[in-house]
Chain A
C-alpha cells in the first residue's frame, strides 16, 4: 500500500485519528506525480513572475498601457516627495509611467491578497471542521477547478488538495509585492506584466475560496434554479430585532444562522446582510435577507434599524464602530482583518460579554470563537432590540428637524465640491426647504453613501441623513429579488452552449460585476442587463452588481431574475455568487476551451488565454468598480483574454489597456495551420477601457464581443447588435462597422442592401450587385478553417 497524505481513522479506536502530512513516501509520490504532469501537460505549471511574460508582452504590445496619474507626486520613500509631472524621473530613477504601473500593480496585488487571504482563512477553518479529505463538490463537472488546473496543472479532488494551491498563490504574491520596493524595477511594461500575474493569481485565490465553501457549506452547485432571495431596505421588518452582518467571509455567519434555526428564532429575528456576506449567507440559508450593496452601509446603519452588527472582512467601512456606537448598536468583529481596537473577548463567558455590550460599557468586541459568535449575536440582538426600539435610536432627523436643517443650508456648495459624484445637494436642500423632495429622492440612488459631504458642511448639516430622511418613501419601495449565487457553470451546460458561443451564434457573455460606485445610480446596470438579455447575450453577474440588478422591477412587478432563466444559455441571467465567485467567469471560458475545443488546460495558461482572446466573445463590465479587488478581478480577466469596461471612475485605477485600431502593425494574427501572418480587424478592440455613460457602454459591450474566430453567422449576429445598439444609443451607424465585415455573409440581413451601398459609395468597395457579393474591399476573407492564434509556438511546424 502506498501511503498518501491524508487522514486515517483506526476502527474501534474512537477519537483516534492519524494525520499524514509530509512523510517521505508521500513526497516521493508527489514528486512522481509532478514529473508526470510536467511531461504530459502544458509548459507553465505554477508559473513564476516571468513565466507568462511573453504572453503579457503579446497582450501589451497590442493593447498599450495608458496611464492616468491621480497624483503627480510620488511619496513612496524618504527621498521623496518627488515631482514626476511630465514623466520626469524621481530620485530613485523611476519615471512617472513606471510609477503609475507600480501603483496599479500594488493595488492589483492588494485585491488578489484580499481574496487569497479570505481563501486561506476559510480553508483553515473548513479543514478543521470537515477534514482535509472532504471531497470537492461543485456540481456536475469533471473540470472542478478550471483556474487552478490551468495555472498550476493540479486537479484537486478534496479541499485539502487546495493547500499547495494557496501556498503557490501566497508565494507569488510575496514575490510580487517585493518588486514594489523602491529602487529595482524600472520598466512600466514589466510592472504591468506583474500586475497581470497578480490578476491571474487572484482568480486562483477566488476559485479556492468559492469552491471550498460550495463544497462544505451546502451552497447551490451549478444550480440554474437556485432560489430567489429577498433584497432591499424596504423588505426588512424593522419592528423585529434586526441582526446585520457586513462583509465577505461567511464562516462566522453560518454559526449565527444555525443557532437561529436550531433555536427556532427564524420568525422572531431578522438576519440581514450587506455586501458579499449577504450573498453567501443566502446561499447558505435562503431565509436570510439582503439589505443591499456596499453603498447602503452607512445609510442603513444611520437608519438605526440594526440592533447588532457583525463584521468580517474586506469592503467594510472604517467607521462602522464609530457610527454604530452613536446609535448604541453593539459591533462584533469576527476576523483579524478588522479589529477596530476592540478587546479580544474570545476566551470570555458569553454572559459577561453580553452584559458589557448591552450596558454600552464596551461599544463592541472582538470574537474569534465561532460557536460563541453563533450564540451571542442573535441573543444579543434579542436583548438590544427592545432597549433600542424604546429609545427610538436613529440618526435620521424627524420632520421638524428636517425642516430646520434644510432651511439652514446656505447653499455654499462645499458639499457639492466634496461629493465624489458632484451631486446637486445644495439645490436639493433648497427644494426640500420649499417642500419639494423630488430631487433628494433622485439623489438617494445616485449617492454612494460615502459621507464626504458631511465632513465639509460649515453648517454641520448631516447631509446623508437629510437625503435618507427625504427619500423615505422611495426606500420603503426598495423591494427586490435576487437569484442566489449558483456557483460554477457546469460541464453539461458548456457542452450545450460552448459551440454557439465560439461560433458567435450566441453573441457573447456580458459579465456585469463589481462594486456600486456607479456614475449615475444603480438603475444603469439593470438597464444594461435588460438590454443585453433581450438581445440574447448571456448575462453573468456577481457581488454588488448581482444585488443591484435585482432591485428593479418591470411594469408587471417582476425582477430580471424572475423574467430570465438562470442557465448558461443565450438570453439567460446567471448570478454566480459573491466576489470570489468571479473566478467562475474566467473558469467558464477555460471550460469552453477544454470541453468544446478539446484544448489541454493543465499548466497551459498561454494557450488557453490565447484561445479565449481569439474565440470567445466574453466581456466584463465593472460599472461601479471602486475596490482594489475589482481591479485585480478585471486584471485577471485581461490576462485570460477577456476585455473589461469600467465606468467613468475607472481611470482612477491609473492604467488601461487600449487598442489603437488605426495602427495595422498591432493587428496581425497568425493562422495556426501554417504560421502565416494576417492582418485582422481590431477584435477585440480594447482590453481595459472606460466609458462615460451607460449609453456609451452598451454599444461598446457588443463591439468588444467580436473575435477573429467568429464564423459568418456569428459575425452577422454580433454586427447586428453592435450596429443596432449604436444607432439606438448614439444615434447613428458606428463609423467603424465596415472594419468588421469580411464578406457579404457578415452583414446584418435586414440592412444588407443599405450597408452594401455604403461600402461601395463611402468606402470604395467593389460590389457585384447581381449576386449581392463583395468583390473587393475587406482586408481579410472569412475562412471556416482559419485557426487564429497570437502565439507562434502554437503554429504547425513551429519549433517549440
Chain B
C-alpha cells in the first residue's frame, strides 16, 4: 500500500503565538527530508519528552532503536517507553542540553558528544526554551519532528493535527 503523504511544512508558526525568538527561526522541513538528514547524521540522538509516551509514539521510537539511534528519555516517559520495549536512557532535559554543549561529554556510550538532536513528544514551551540553549551556544543540529512548530530548532515540522503528525512520523521512520 502506498505511503500516505502529508505536507509538514504548513502552519510553520510558533505554537505558542508569542514565542518568536528573533530573526533566526527553524526552517520548515518535510518529513521525508527530516528522515534523510537524521539517517545521515554521524552522532544522532533522539530526545523524547513525557508526551512522547502517548499512544502509538513508542512504536515509532522503536524504529530509531532498530537503526541504532540512541534514545534519551527525558521527563517521565521512561516507564512507558520501557513497557513498550523501547531501549532508552533517562536524562533530565535541562541537564542534557548542558551536556550537549560540553565538549567533555562523551555521550551515553562514551564515544563522544552528539552532532544532531532530534526532538519528539515534548511539553512545548519546555522543549522550546531548552532548544534555545542549543541554538545559541552549540553547533548541534536540532531537528524537531514534534507536532508543533519549534522556532528554536534548525528544522521543524509545522503545527500538525494528530493524524498528520502520526503519518509524518511514519514517513520519517521509513527513511531511517
Using a CB–CB cutoff of 8 Å, the interface residues on chain A facing chain B are 64, 66-73, 83-87, 96-97, 417-418, 420, 422, 456, 519, 648-649, 651-652, 656, 658, 660, 662-663, 686, 689-693, 695-696, 700, 729-732, 734-735
Contacts and interface: CB of A to CB of B under 8 A. Distances in A.
Contacts of B49: 692
B93 A692 contact: yes
Contacts of B76: 692-693, 695-696, 729-730
B104 A660 contact: yes
B45 to A, nearest CB: 15
A729 B90 CA distance: 12
A422 B135 contact: no
Given A72-B24, A85-B22, A651-B129, A730 B90 contact: yes
Given A662-B106, A686-B95, A97 B137 contact: yes
Contacts of B104: 660, 662-663
A68 B133 contact: yes
A218 B10 CA distance: 62
- Pairs of residues from A and B, 9 with the lowest C-beta to C-beta distance, nearest first: A72-B22, A731-B79, A692-B75, A695-B76, A648-B126, A651-B129, A658-B98, A696-B76, A66-B98
A660 B107 CA distance: 12
A692 B123 contact: yes
A417 B98 contact: no
Interface residues of B, number: 47
Contact of A731 (B22, B75, B82, B95): B82
Contact of B136 (A64, A86, A663): A86
A652 B18 CA distance: 13
A652 B126 CA distance: 8
B175 interface: no
Given A422-B16, A662-B105, A691-B75, A69 B132 contact: yes
A422 B49 CA distance: 16
Contacts of A729: 76, 79
Interface string B49-89: 11000000000000000000000001110111011000001
Given A662-B106, A731-B82, 4 more contacts: A69-B133, A85-B135, A693-B75, A696-B74
A87 B136 CA distance: 6
A660 B98 contact: yes
Contact of A85 (B14, B23, B90): B23
Nearest to A658: B98
Contact of A660 (B13, B22, B105): B105
A67 B74 contact: no
B176 interface: no
A663 B113 CA distance: 14
Nearest to B105: A662
Contacts of A732: 78-79, 82, 90
A87 to B, nearest CB: 6
Contacts of A649: 125-126
B126 A731 contact: no
B125 A696 contact: no
A559 to B, nearest CB: 26
Nearest to A657: B98
A66 B94 CA distance: 9
Contacts of B123: 519, 648, 692-693
Given A72-B24, A648-B126, A651-B129, A85 B79 contact: no
A730 B137 contact: no
Contact of A73 (B22, B95, B133): B22
Contact of A693 (B50, B105, B130, B132): B50
Contacts of B89: 735
A662 B50 CA distance: 24
A651 B136 CA distance: 14
A730 B24 contact: no
A64 B132 contact: no
A87 B138 CA distance: 9
B137 A418 contact: no
Contacts of B18: 418
